[in-house]
Structure 1
Amino acid sequence: MEAVAIPSTLTLSSVLWATLGLGGFIGGLFLATMILPGKVHRGLPTPAGERRYYKLNGMALWVLTHMVVIGATLTLGLSLSPLVTTWFWPLLVAANLISIAASLWLYLGGKRRQAAAGESRPAGESAIAEFWYGAELNPTLAGVDLKIFAYQPSLIGLHVLVAAFAYAQYESLGTLTPQMVLYQAFWWLYLYTHYRDEPGLTSMWDVIAERFGFMLVWGDLTLVPFFYCIAGWTLMGQSAPISSAEGIALSALFLFGLWVFRGANKQKHLFKLDRSTPIWGRTPEVLGDRLLISGFWGIGRKLNYSGELCVYLAIAATAGRGSLEPYLVFLWLLSLLLHRAWRDDKRCRARYGALWEEYCARARFKMIPFIY
């Protein structure tokens, strides 16, 4: 199995140009999110009881990016391949620098507003911890919620890098292998369903409850776009196609996982907004007027995690079994989600008490029916 090494063209000049380019990309998306129309959605209550309003136009931004890239490719001969064959390391360094700078700006701005309001950091929390977690819950700029906006350079940036691997393979081989086509299709469907269900962001824990600091900023601007595309490095250098049976099996795994992942999350989101919303054509069953026990949530307590893992396993497996590298994202998410499932179970037992025990007796499985 052939593999392509990540380029090492890392110089001060390349980092400066990459920082300008990446900053321009983020700035362009920010201007577009201000200009493009979008439906305003009311979020769930924050820990302080506030319900914020969010303008969501991620689908429009994603489609606009398609139009720009496709149009420039057809009319100007644009190639995205240099993003991974020449500029990957400079862009990665630039993303880290921008993440640090943005986090410092958010922290200092948050501290100024805290001082003006006579507030202080949470008791027992150091300045380093406050920088890591953030000084504010929902900072805004020019009326744009920055926490919501950060999803755009994160996921659209990821998609641009994913597409760059296809450009690079086509320029090298004169064709796209079946596994590269699957890799592109899987990511396209993943992102399409994300933007289709974008209102679900307004009920996510990190949006309504987690402060916006370096942890989330770095995750959005650096970790997701530059780590989640890792299978592309192996795929880009492969010339031998996978079999039809392998392609069908991977497609089935991906589509099943995506159905469970998006479906479970959407059921929970709609339940939080309106507890009478039908699930699978029936009135939802609720324990103690608090815990949903219908749909996916009546089968297992964390099937959304299971579906997400199936999605990322299928994406990784498009690169074959000759290297561990394509599976690093899946393995990282596996450890993260297993810990999160344990943490959530512990928190819910403390919060709901006997009601949680009753729920666990009904939804017996955590992540894998009849196994775990």
Structure 2
Amino acid sequence: MEHLKQHFNCFSQARGLRAQYLPPGTYLFTRFGIFNPTVVYDHLGEIFSALIFGSFIFCIFLYIKGHVAPSSTDSGSSGNLIIDFYWGMELYPRIGKNFDIKVFTNCRFGLMSWAVLAVTYCIKQYEVNGKVSDSMLVNTTLMLVYVTKFFWWEAGYWNTMDIAHDRAGFYICWGCLVWVPSVYTSPGMYLVNHPVNLGTQLAVYILVAGILCIYINYDCDRQRQEFRRTNGKCKVWGKAPSKIEATYTTTSGETKTSLLLTSGWWGLSRHFHYVPEILAAFFWTVPALFNHFLPYFYVVFLTILLVDRAKRDDDRCRSKYGGKMSAYDNVVSGKLKLKGKALDVKAGGIKKKKKHKKQHQDFQSTQNDLSSASGGSKEVSVDPNEEDINDADKSSGEGKASHYDDHLTPAERRYIEQREQLDVHRLAKQANKSHRDRIQDFNQYLANMSEHYDIPKVGPG
């Protein structure tokens, strides 16, 4: 694993950023008549058809390779042919010593084709209309900024779900070889024949907003990457980061500890980095305005993809860290509530909030009723925040009241009488509770005894 990581970092630094020379090189080839990239646009149907078929054959090859010649021990079969084909057999498949298949499909082909096609669509619009619209310029610029950000941060991509957890199968490889160049670039493809004139002011606003979202997305990933690199010994927004130490057990039985960052961007919400990523996609799509749904298919797809990824990541972390994830949920607010509404449980899992205001209102209502029944006396007030006493204390108190009855003042007698009437009223109220209300109270009691929200619940019977 460590060898693969060092290989990936070296590979990304040596070739990842150099890949960004390809889009401007495409423009220069056009400028000097060496090569006309618009021929790519003219044959998109044939190109995408070949990619669909060829990538399917490639996924079959990966399935067979995973069974016959896996590259590492991070491989295996689920016993289901369809699942193995779709999710993949190997986590880090390689051909030879230096060709990493996932690095090629995800980074070299997928992201580079995204950048090249973005520039190609821009050049094609110039060829068709004699000029490039400001909407196309905003779209192309934001896409190139995003892809450049990716290659700059490519070493951190190693720790994402795509590389570290999702195996190389149809889901990842076919998606990067076919879905990325066809769907991810679709807003620019639409603008080729549907140019929109935004005006300088609106175009600048959209461009700045998109770049800001891309930067926030980058800073989120950089913040977590630096936190992991320094083992939590770094500054996050100028302060020492807050964190949770979560232990887990590996498949070999070894106990390890992970640090979960709970400050900075990662203290705002669970999976906050997905928010600016979706917004960035929206901002390089919105130059097409709202005349057709087609450009926004990518934004809708990306939102569904990232919500599903967030859920899978939550499930994986809960399985890996157990109860520590409940502590993480209590620290980091705004998480995706994927399991329904949580019960009212505090961080400690023991105490529940006391609704003082409601208790005070109930007490005042009861007090008024008792005062009316006793002739409107309002001289004595009882603390509404005082805890209920148990039956033993009440019987003891009643005995003492009658025993010392001769020594009590009239005000003390009225206080004891009203207190007894309040106890009677409380017991009557409990006796009138329905079976469903009692079950709900019991479920809340069980929830307060545990730090987990997904404990089994007692049915209404």
> TM-score band (shorter)?
0.7 to 0.9
CA distance in 1, matches of 2:122, 2:93: 37
CA distance in 1, matches of 2:24, 2:207: 27
Preserved CA contact (<8 Å) 2:135 2:198: yes
Q: Which residue of 1 aligns with 2:296?
A: 327
CA distance in 2, matches of 1:296, 1:266: 10
The CA deviation at 1:240 is 4.6
Aligned residues: 319
Preserved CA contact (<8 Å) 1:287 1:293: yes
Q: Which residue of 2 aligns with 1:146?
A: 101
CA 1:198–1:70: 2 relative to 1, 3 Å: same
Q: Which residue of 1 aligns with 2:50?
A: 94
The CA deviation at 1:52 is 6.2
CA 1:352–1:110: 2 relative to 1, 3 Å: closer
What root-mean-square deviation, in Å, do the aligned CA atoms of Structure 1 and Structure 2 show? 2.7
The CA deviation at 1:319 is 0.8
The CA deviation at 1:265 is 1.6
CA distance in 2, matches of 1:174, 1:104: 45
> Per the alignment, in what secondary structure is the counterpart of residue 288 of structure 2?
coil
Preserved CA contact (<8 Å) 1:58 1:198: no
The CA deviation at 1:358 is 2.9
2:145 pairs with 1:189: yes
Q: Which amino acid aligns with 2:226?
A: L
> Per the alignment, in what secondary structure is the counterpart of residue 291 of structure 1?
strand
Q: Which of residues 87, 91, 96 is equivalent to 1:137? A: 91
Q: Which of residues 113, 129, 132 is equivalent to 2:69? A: 113
Q: Which residue of 1 aligns with 2:221?
A: 265
Q: For the pair shown, which has the larger CA radius of gyration, 1 or 2?
A: 2
Preserved CA contact (<8 Å) 1:135 1:213: yes
CA deviations over 1:189-211 (Å, ceiling 9, x no partner): 00111111111122112212222
CA deviations over 1:175-197 (Å, ceiling 9, x no partner): 11111111111011001111111
CA deviations over 1:77-135 (Å, ceiling 9, x no partner): 42222222x21111111111221122222222222225x99999435x31232122222
2:182 pairs with 1:226: yes
The CA deviation at 1:53 is 3.4
CA distance in 1, matches of 2:287, 2:140: 10
Preserved CA contact (<8 Å) 2:91 2:166: yes
CA distance in 1, matches of 2:195, 2:320: 54
CA 1:330–1:89: 2 relative to 1, 3 Å: same
CA distance in 1, matches of 2:294, 2:325: 39
CA distance in 2, matches of 1:344, 1:213: 19
The CA deviation at 1:216 is 1.2
> Per the alignment, in what secondary structure is the counterpart of residue 167 of structure 2?
coil
2:19 pairs with 1:62: yes
Q: Which amino acid aligns with 1:355?
A: K
CA distance in 2, matches of 1:120, 1:155: 26
Q: Which amino acid aligns with 1:226?
A: S
CA 1:288–1:149: 2 relative to 1, 3 Å: same
Superposed, which structure 2 residues align to 1:207-356 within 5 Å?
207-275=163-231, 276-288=233-245, 290-356=259-325
CA distance in 2, matches of 1:221, 1:118: 25
Q: Which of residues 26, 36, 45 is equivalent to 1:79? A: 36
The CA deviation at 1:349 is 3.9
Preserved CA contact (<8 Å) 2:135 2:196: no
Q: Which residue of 1 aligns with 2:368?
A: none
The CA deviation at 1:357 is 2.8
CA 1:117–1:170: 2 relative to 1, 3 Å: closer
The CA deviation at 1:174 is 1.4
Preserved CA contact (<8 Å) 2:20 2:148: no
Preserved CA contact (<8 Å) 1:79 1:167: no
Preserved CA contact (<8 Å) 2:110 2:180: yes
CA distance in 2, matches of 1:264, 1:309: 14
2:10 pairs with 1:53: no
CA deviations over 1:274-321 (Å, ceiling 9, x no partner): 222332333322122621012100111111110111011111101111
TM-score by length of 1: 0.78
Structure 2, unaligned stretches of length 5 or more?
Answer: 247-258, 337-461
Indicate the structure whose relative CO is greater, using CA pairs within 8 Å and at least 6 residues apart: 1
